[in-house]
Amino acid sequence: MSNITDSRLIVLSCLLIPFMLLCFISQARAGIALETYWPLYGGDQKVFSYGAESLAMTVSDYEVNQYKIQYQTATDMGYEIHQIGSDKIQVVLAKTGYILISFNPYINLLNESVVLNGGTITTQTTVTQRYAGSYPATFTVVVEMAGAVTVPAGTFTNCRSISVQKVATIPGEGTVNVSFMTAILAPGVGIIRKLVSPGTWAELVSGTVHGIDVTKTTIAPTIASSSPLPTATVGVAYNQALAATDGAMPYTWSVSSGTLPAGLSLSSVGILSGTPSVATNTGFTVQVTGSNGLFSRKVFSIAVNNQFSSLDLSLSGSGSGSVNSNPSGSISCTWPPQAGKCSTSQTTGTSLTLIASHGGDSSFGGWGGSCSLCTGLTCLLTIDADKSCTAIFNILPLVRIPGPAYYASIATAYSHLVAGSHAAMQVQAVELTGDVDLLSNIELDLQGGYDSGFTGSTGFTTLHGTVSIGNGSLTLDRIVIK
């Protein structure tokens, strides 16, 4: 064999410069080692430099499981079509300028085994080249371990070297032996160095790998998903994708400590899924490992709620009242004694508004339990777990100053009046014992005989004791002093 090179071989040699980036993972995605060292992801790009020259490489979707790798230098532009299988990557065809080259069968470029362990792949094929016809050729790919390699974009560890040799029998020229490619592959990045001529390497300077800056692929990935994770429900299918940034793709996900809720599992591609079987609130630590072997961890928590959650309502207090719900029908509870529909079972996550109404002789004393943060007569409650609430109703005090303000005795109410004012004081139709001393300069209208809700005065109030007026004035209405 002779080591000659004609125009046909030069063209093919240029086309076999597979500078690749990460791309879309299809259903027929390559194995993990292939995806790590020979990533193909449409839309990514790289820039290499050699001396004063540069080489730009881009990857785009071509057909199903096929990707177009296009390159451009200051003087030349071309592309290759690569096909992904479950355990191999093949070269389908290549083009530069007006010259199109196809292979039948396709060239087996890499497989899972040689990427993992090193080795040799040989393909015997027929090369069909525009303007040159067809001729038989044998392509031999050799992959070896290469350790750590430094290029302008950074230092990459656990690299591989790849070389492609072609032996062809060309009519009228005999057998030729041509070296087409020598390159260094880094995990998560693909080619980082390419021998473009004897002693001259094109080295990776910048670019993106599946949207990740290539300079970030030399560090550990960072988990971007936040904790706590979205709530899960017993008996309902759950699916949550975890996300990471930086590092070398593809990532491998795992649970490094703790236990996932029963029924859930974390896949190696970061999908937390399954159907929870037990209500719980638990924590666990997730690890994401880049294809460069570097990893990071993060603690997550997740709540698993029952599919149905209950709300129990308890009413209490010296007064009377009721609590209803909006939407209506879920709660309709009265007091005293407690009666009606005072509990409900709802689909977990349902929201109800509880509405308190006090009796005419009572006031609303407030919410408690799971409703303790509510104020006023209404309480908006999300039933995302079993909950219990209380509502308190208090009997109104015997004395009222219109406004209203309520007091337990005439003396207490009088102490809250402003000197020099003219005020009214209303008293329920009850019998009171004790002396009343009116010592401030207040014109007081003391009105008795009111019902318990202070809605009207039809009876009398009886005072057992002495009423002393030291200052101001007193007008009595429906008051009996004994």
pTM assigned to the model: 0.58
Q: Distance between CA 482 and CA 477 in Å, rounded?
A: 15
**b/e string for 378-399 if b means 16 or more Cβ within 10 A?**
ebebebbbbbebbbbbbbbebb
Residue 89 above 80 pLDDT? yes
pLDDT of residue 7: 31
CB atoms under 10 Å from CB of 417, counted, come to: 19
Is there a contact between 470 and 439 (Cβ–Cβ < 8 Å)? Answer: yes
Closest CA to 196 of 37, 8, 57: 57
SS3 32: helix
The label of the residue with tokens 């303790």 reads 372
Q: Distance between CA 437 and CA 451 in Å, rounded?
A: 25
Distances from the Cα of 262 to the Cαs of 234, 299, 330, 353, in angstroms?
10, 18, 32, 33
Is there a contact between 219 and 247 (Cβ–Cβ < 8 Å)? Answer: yes
Is there a contact between 136 and 159 (Cβ–Cβ < 8 Å)? Answer: no
What mean pLDDT value characterizes the chain? 88
Q: What is the pLDDT of residues 193-228, one digit of tens each?
A: 998 888 899 999 999 988 889 999 889 999 999 999
Is there a contact between 446 and 427 (Cβ–Cβ < 8 Å)? Answer: yes
Between 161-165, 245-249, 371-375, the lowest mean confidence (pLDDT) is in 245-249
- DSSP class of residue 470? S
Q: Distance between CA 228 and CA 25 in Å, rounded?
A: 28
User: Percent of the chain having pLDDT more than 90?
Assistant: 63
pLDDT of residue 15: 34
pLDDT of residue 162: 96
Q: What confidence category does residue 30 fall into, taking pLDDT thresholds of 50, 70 and 90?
A: low
Residue 27 above 70 pLDDT? no
Q: What is the pLDDT of residues 298-337, one digit of tens each?
A: 999 999 988 888 999 999 998 899 999 999 999 999 999 9
Backbone phi, psi, residue 35, to 5°? -65, -30
Is there a contact between 347 and 421 (Cβ–Cβ < 8 Å)? Answer: no
Is there a contact between 315 and 393 (Cβ–Cβ < 8 Å)? Answer: yes
pLDDT of residue 33: 87
Closest CA to 34 of 100, 87, 98, 106: 87
Q: Distance between CA 20 and CA 59 in Å, rounded?
A: 7
Higher pLDDT pick, 21 / 134: 134
Backbone phi, psi, residue 106, to 5°? -60, 155
Between 22-26, 343-347, 386-390, 409-413, the lowest mean confidence (pLDDT) is in 22-26
CB atoms under 10 Å from CB of 433, counted, come to: 9
Is there a contact between 429 and 459 (Cβ–Cβ < 8 Å)? Answer: yes
Q: What confidence category does residue 12 fall into, taking pLDDT thresholds of 50, 70 and 90?
A: very low
The label of the residue with tokens 């943060």 reads 373
pLDDT of residue 383: 92
pLDDT of residue 96: 79
Question: Kind and range of the H or E element at 113?
Answer: helix 112-117
Residue 229 above 80 pLDDT? yes
